[in-house]
Amino acid sequence: MNIRPDPTFHASPKLAMEAPPETVAYTLLLSPDFSQPDALAVIDVKPGSPTYSRIVHKVTMPFKGDEFHHFGWNACSSALSPLSGHAFLERRFLIIPGIRSSRIYIVDTKPHPAEAKIHKIIEPEEIFRKTGYSRPHTVHCGPEGIYVSTLGGGGKDGTDGPPGVFIMDCETFEVLGRWELDRGPQKLHYDFWWNLPRDYMVSSEWALPPQFENGIVAEDLLANRYGHAINFWDLSRRRNVQTIDLGANHQMALEVRPAHDPVREYGFLGVVVDTTNLEGSIWTWWREGGKFQIEKTATIPPEPAPKDQLPPLLQGFGAVPPLVSDIDLSLDDRFLYVACWGTGEMRQYDVTDPRKPTLAGSVHIGGIARRTPHPNGKSFAGGPQMVEISRDGKRVYWTNSLYSSWDDQFYPQGIPGAQVMANVGPGGGLELARDYWVDFPEGYRAHQIRLEGGDCSTDSFCYPSA
């Protein structure tokens, strides 16, 4: 423990934007056929470095079959909350869950990222015993601990009871127990985040394990059986206060991104597909008069494509859905980035008016039918997927794998791991950096990215920007 707050903790989003730029990125690697253990890659992102955009260190796990997906820090700017009692923690440990194994790895990034190593392993039996949950997914560092959402309940197939959120101690990493006291109608889970001073949390819905572990279940999708609601929670009382159904045709309500400045009581939600027309969509929520409201504020159409360019799953539709798989919001709350994994497009929306997003930039790379190469000429399989933004908003990084079994259905030719970066213009606009391309070891796919010192989907801020 430090004797003063970690210098990477910032009271407000504006102060975080003024911090030194990242020099290291951490990226999760997964073995889709489980033939080798999953890993964490440490990447040099410092321009001018002789190892720029290359892996400088790799932490290989001792087990196979974990299926790495999302991960997060043990502590972040939320530790500066006046109610936390944890202001002297360090942003030091990465909390890495395995979706399939329900095992969690704690990786120590100190004293130097190129010497990162496993600090502790939490076996699935401890999670099952203390929470009744399985398939840990999203990790957020809160003022009083580490919050982890899950995709499964108990039992072998994860359907014995609904999934939820559990809390870990941010220093000992002991699993403490379930977070929610009253879940209301919430039965599915995926992502979650919060507005700390406003004392509310938002959570979204994907599916239960039998609906995603072996690939998308087409019959369930066409019958609108995937998640299509957003849940709002009283954070301190740990209870569901409102659930809004988006309409059953809006299948898979995934990433939630609240405004970073806690003064702003709104945020964004990405929906993968509308089963009536194959559109992807962005939704904006806000609170007014003590009640939450949400509306669809942007749509992304499918792209027609010849049958011979489509995987069997899509051949009956004659089109490629955008498949909005991730979204991310810049720290100044100005630009929302939308990853269209199916059509191979990264979209940038100006959300200065959060209920009227306007398209400000776009680049194509990969895609089911387009298969657009990188500007350096290299082939980019898959499409833009997990996206991360630098604190200053000038760089946007992304990878190309969604989930092993879904990758195989939508991109049967394979998805060799790749990571790229786009530069952001002063007034918006995107341009892929020709000199940034990360090659990963053969047999690995790349998923979520975390940036040294925090990033736009990591930190929660307790104070408004001046």
369: pLDDT strictly greater than 70: yes
Nearest to 7 by CA among 456, 454, 461: 454
Q: Is the pLDDT of residue 119 over 90?
A: yes
Quote the radius of gyration of the chain (alpha carbons, Å): 20
Least confident of 80-94, 347-361, 399-413: 80-94
- 194-215 burial, b for 16+ CB within 10 Å, e for fewer? bbbbeebbbbbbbbbbebbbeb
2-6, 66-70, 92-96, 161-165: range with lowest mean pLDDT: 2-6
**Pairing mode, if any, of strands 445-451 and 430-439?**
unpaired
Is residue 87 scored above 90 in pLDDT?
no
Report pLDDT digits (tens) over 34-59. 999 999 999 999 999 999 999 999 99
Residue 5: what pLDDT?
83
Please state which CATH number belongs to domain 13-451: 2.130.10.10
What's the rounded Cα separation, in Å, for the pair 164 and 457? Answer: 20
Average pLDDT (151-169) is: 97
pLDDT at 370 over 80: yes
pLDDT, the chain, mean: 96
* High-pLDDT (> 70) share of the chain, %: 98
Mean pLDDT of 90-99: 97
Check whether 2 has a pLDDT greater than 60.
no
> pLDDT-derived band of residue 86, with 50, 70 and 90 as boundaries?
low
Percent residues over pLDDT 90 in the chain: 96
Please list the residues that pair with 18 across neighbouring strands. none
Q: What is the pLDDT of residue 83?
A: 73
Question: Does the structure show a pLDDT above 70 at 85?
Answer: no
* Domain spans, the chain: 13-451
pLDDT recorded at residue 326: 98
User: How does pLDDT run across 188-227, given as a tens digit for each residue?
Assistant: 999 999 999 999 999 999 999 999 999 999 999 999 999 9
Per residue in 226-271, pLDDT tens?
999 999 999 999 999 999 999 999 999 999 999 999 999 999 999 9
* Residue 111, preceding peptide bond in cis (omega within 30° of 0): yes
Please, which residues have CB within 8 angstroms of residue 384's CB and are 6 or more apart in sequence? 326, 339, 340, 341, 344, 345, 346, 365, 366, 398, 400
Sign of the torsion formed by the C-alpha atoms of 22, 196, 127 and 102: negative
Higher pLDDT, 281 or 81: 281
Residue 155 scores a pLDDT above 90: yes
3-class DSSP state for residue 431?
Answer: strand
- Indicate the pLDDT class of residue 386, thresholds 50, 70 and 90: very high
Under the banding of pLDDT at 50, 70 and 90, the label for residue 3 is low
For residue 350, the model assigns a pLDDT of 98
Q: What is the pLDDT of residues 398-451, one digit of tens each?
A: 999 999 999 999 999 999 999 999 999 999 999 999 999 999 999 999 999 999
**What is the spatial distance between Cα 389 and Cα 424, in angstroms, rounded to a whole number?**
10
At 88 the pLDDT is 76
What mean pLDDT do residues 14-20 have? Answer: 97
Specify the pLDDT at position 81.
87
Predicted TM-score (pTM) above 0.75: yes
CA separation (Å) from 463 to 15, 76, 416? 10, 14, 42
Give the model's pLDDT for residue 315: 95
Tokens for 361, please give them: 């930039």
